[in-house]
Amino acid sequence: MNRESLSFVVFLIHACAAKWNKLSPEVFDILQKSNCISDYLVPYYDVLHTQGENYLVDDIESYLTRRGIQV
C-alpha cells in the first residue's frame, strides 16, 4: 500500500464511520475482516479514487452486503 492509497483508505474509514454512526476503529475492523481493504479498496484505488464520497460509501456497503455483513 502506498501513501496515496493509505490516505484514501483512511478517508473512506472516516466517511463510512460518519454515515454508519460508528467509530472509526469499528469501521476499520469491519473492512479489515471482510478483506475490503486488501481485496478491493487498495487494488482498485486507481479507479475508485476518482469517484465521489457518497458513491464510494454506498459501494462499500454493497461490497459488505454481498458478503453477508450488515452495517
Q: How many domains, the chain?
A: 1
0.85 surpassed by pTM: yes
Pair 5, 41: CB distance under 8 Å: yes
Q: How many residues does the chain have?
A: 71
Residue 71 lies in a domain: no
Residue 61 lies in a domain: yes
Could you list the residue range(s) of the whole structural domain that residue 7 is in? 3-66
Nearest to 26 by CA among 34, 3, 68, 59: 34
| Residue 1: pLDDT over 90 | no
3-state SS, residue 36: helix
The 10s digit of each residue's pLDDT in 8-35 is 999 999 999 999 999 999 999 999 999 9
- Across the range 2-6, mean pLDDT stands at 95
| Residue 6: pLDDT over 90 | yes
Residue 8 lies in a domain: yes
Residue 46 lies in a domain: yes
Residue 52 lies in a domain: yes
Residue 13 lies in a domain: yes
